[in-house]
Each structure stands twice: as C-alpha cells, then as structure tokens.
Amino acid sequence: MKKSETKGSQIFKIIFYSVIIASLFGAIHNQISYSVSSEFFTNFLFGNFGTHEWNLKNNRLEASIVGIIGSYWVGLILGIIYIIVFLFMRTENNFKDIINAILINIGCAFLGSFIAYLIAKYLIDYENSGVFIDFGTQNPQNYLEAAFMNTGSYIGGILGVIAGIIYLLKKNSNYENKKNRL
C-alpha cells in the first residue's frame, strides 16, 4: 500500500475487496455444492432467494447468483470487522495483512464446508438428520450433503473471522516487538 494513500481510501478498499472476495467465494462454493446436489438449489435455494422468478435458463448461473446474494453481505460485515482491527494496527503492511486475513477467513469457510460435507456423507443419514427435505427429492442424501456444506461454510466463516483476527494481532505484536528492539 502506498504511503500517500489515506486511511479513508484504504478503508474503502478493505470493504471493496472483502465484498468481492466473499462474492467470488459464494459463486464458486455454490458451483461445488450444485455438483453435489442440484436439487438443493432447485427445490430450496432458488425459491428461498427468489431467483426462480427471474426465469434464468441456466441453473449453474442461477446457483452462482444465489452464492453472490448469500455471501456479499458477509463480506461487508467482515470488511467492517477488519476495518476496526485495521484502525488499531501499526504494522508495516497493514493493508496486505488485512487482505491475508480475509483470505484466511475464506479458506476457513471452504474448510468448514468441506468438513460439513464429510460429516453429512459419512456420519449422517438423511432420514435421521432433522433436515427438512422436500417431498419428491430424488437424491435426499446428496441434498443433505449440500445443505450441510452450506451451513458449514457459514460456521467456517465465523471461525475464520477469529483466525483472521488472531493472525492480525500476531502480526501487530510481532511488529511492536521488532520496533521495540530497534
């Protein structure tokens, strides 16, 4: 980050990047979970998000749009949280460190989704899951796996905020220790 940039422009960039990265995550994540169960989208998410009324002809595109709608706001919240931390940071690369924290956060969301998928696939039977599955769903176990992936990504995202903040606090502490030694 250039020294001439104001904190205000850096704050705007943090919000911008966190929303864009979260939106990309949502679009990509939904492509993966759509591959696990298209029925989770056609029977639940498309109706839940109202995108079925848009008459899109491509379900994959619609899944990406649902992913963006379902995650951009999370990026906005993450951006605000990271801005608060950013305002108190005194490192050499504040902005770069914030972007790294956002990427750690997204990585945790992917990991949470993957772990939830494995739990649903190998440990949970759809009949005993407690997850409401629409009547007529042809592949209820796959539906359950995609539903768990969806929830797991949010849980991973929450844990990712904690991991991102810990990363930033360590970076700040290392910088302070280095500065005090000089």
What mean pLDDT is predicted for residues 28-55?
95
Tokens of 25: 């995550």
- pLDDT band of residue 62 (cuts 50, 70, 90) is very high
What mean pLDDT is predicted for residues 101-106?
96
Rg, C-alpha atoms of the chain: 19
Tokens of 53: 């009324």
More confident: 179 or 12: 12
**Residue 23 DSSP SS3:** helix
Which residue do the tokens 């407690």 mark?
Answer: 130
For the chain, domain boundaries: 7-181
C-alpha 49, offset from chain centre: 17
Q: Does position 161 have pLDDT exceeding 80, yes or no?
A: yes
What mean pLDDT is predicted for residues 14-28?
97
Q: How many Å apart are CA 149 and CA 115, to the nearest integer?
A: 8
What mean pLDDT is predicted for residues 33-41?
97
Q: What is the pLDDT of residue 6?
A: 81
What mean pLDDT is predicted for residues 151-178?
90
Q: Does position 27 have pLDDT exceeding 80, yes or no?
A: yes
Average pLDDT, whole number, for the chain?
A: 91
Which residue type occupies 4? Answer: S
Task: Report phi then psi at 136, rounded to 5.
Answer: 95, 0
Q: What is the pLDDT of residue 167?
A: 95
Cβ burial 89-124 (10 Å sphere, 16+ → b, else e):
bebeebbebbbebbebbbebbbbbbeebbeebeeeb
What mean pLDDT is predicted for residues 25-54?
95
Least trusted range by pLDDT, from 86-90, 137-141, 147-151: 86-90
Task: Report phi then psi at 127, rounded to 5.
Answer: -65, -25
What mean pLDDT is predicted for residues 130-149?
89
